[in-house]
Amino acid sequence: DSSVQNGLALFISGDNLRKGAALNTIQIAEALIERGLV
């Protein structure tokens, strides 16, 4: 933080894309198994 002499500026970002894609893959696999396609 430039307004404080010994301040620290942090930029934090979250990325849930990988987690979302992994969960989506599992759900697709479960649906294929239920339908007997795998």
- Could you state, in order of their start, the residue ranges of all structural domains in the chain? 1-38
The CA-to-CA distance between both ends of the chain, in Å, stands at 55
In whole angstroms, what is the distance from residue 25 CA to residue 33 CA? 12
- pLDDT tens, position by position, 1-38: 577 888 777 777 666 666 677 888 899 899 999 999 87
Residues 28, 31, 32: CA angle, nearest 5 degrees:
85
C-alpha radius of gyration, the chain, whole number = 21
Q: What integer pLDDT is reported at residue 35 of this predicted model?
A: 92
The confidence score (pLDDT) of residue 14 equals 66
- Confidence (pLDDT) at 16: 64
